[in-house]
A and B are shown apart, each in its own frame.
Chain A
Amino acid sequence: MQAVAIPPFERFYEEHRSDVLRLLRRRLGADRAEDAFQETFLRALRAYGRLDHGEHLRAWVLTIAQNVALDTLRRTRPTSELVDASADDAEPAYAELAELTDGLGPKERAAVVLRYGYDLSYDQIASALGSSPDAARQATSTGVRRIRRRIIS
């Protein structure tokens, strides 16, 4: 199967910027969404040169946006309010693995979905989560272990 070519960043940005802003506004409100918007696409730009293929870019950038939103909330809100920040989300990107990954923390959940739902490399997941590839691998395997334990029990 031929890999989907990576589009020039301008095209990728034009195609997804509205969706990213919509997600961030819903999560953070209009004011905080603006900084988060910039941060999301800067993170995407940092990782863009290392992408292996151009598949699932929408899921990828929405995941980056989710994590930027989480980071913003974590900086500005008490932790107790964070609990349902990811559970209320019904993004299509998460839909297929939503039930399975329901009990996981936000980072683990994103890592598992990106790894097994979208077949992304740990490098790509790392850039989406704003962490190192090792941390991405760790989050994925912790997530998988938790799911396995839940299914078995």
Chain B
Amino acid sequence: MTVSPDLDRRFRDAAADLGLIDVGFDVVDSPIGDLLVAASDRGLAAISFDSEPQDSLERLARIAGPRVLRSSRSVDGARRELDQYFAGRRRTFDLSLDLRALPPFTLSVLDQLARVPYGETTTYGALARRVGHPRAARAVGTVMNRNRIPIVLPCHRVVGATGSLTGYAGGLDVKEKLLELEGAR
């Protein structure tokens, strides 16, 4: 017995409207490929370059609770701002973020990361100095590597001391494209 797309969508919309979802997700297409975007009632919870939901569901459940449901409506706000960003019409994001369960050091690094302006780059060492741990460049690199909300928390703007791109969860070509989009390269 196949559930029609219409019936399926009605249930998902109702679940989102009634606030019964811990975290809703959907696939958002972008110039750098499909993104899996997830949001809770606290805000944007994750952006993943691996758009295959099956791999991400357990991870989302660990962050926000077991009521993980695909729901276009849950990520409407994030989709709109991402579309504007990729179209070059948005430089900062106004979305609230769900950063629960992250340790204090990570939060302070992400807080500094969020202040790196559009179109500019910084280094791991410079971020480490800004959070008051000048020798923690490597730890800052780990925080970038585990960043749950890339693009919006702009870890693509962080490069090595020599200006090399070093690494990126979405691949170096994606990092390069994002910097090009912002006119930083």
Contact = CB atoms under 8 A, between A and B. Distances in A.
B150 interface: no
Contacts of B65: 49
Contacts of B156: none
A8 B1 contact: no
B3 A9 contact: no
Interface in A42-84: 42, 45-46, 48-49, 51
B7 A10 contact: no
Given A42-B20, A49-B22, A8 B10 contact: no
Interface in B1-56: 1-3, 7-8, 10-11, 14-15, 18, 20-22, 53
A10 B21 CA distance: 10
Interface range on chain A (Cβ under 8 Å from partner): 20 to 34
Nearest to B68: A8
Given A8-B58, A11-B57, A37 B66 contact: no
Nearest to B8: A17
A22 B10 CA distance: 18
Nearest to A9: B67
A18 interface: yes
Interface of A: 6-11, 13, 17-19, 21-22, 25, 34, 37-38, 41-42, 45-46, 48-49, 51
Given A34-B10, A42-B20, 4 more contacts: A6-B66, A7-B57, A8-B68, A18-B1
18 contacts: A7-B66, A8-B58, A8-B60, A8-B61, A8-B66, A9-B68, A9-B69, A10-B68, A18-B1, A18-B2, A21-B1, A38-B7, A38-B10, A41-B11, A42-B20, A45-B15, A45-B67, A48-B66
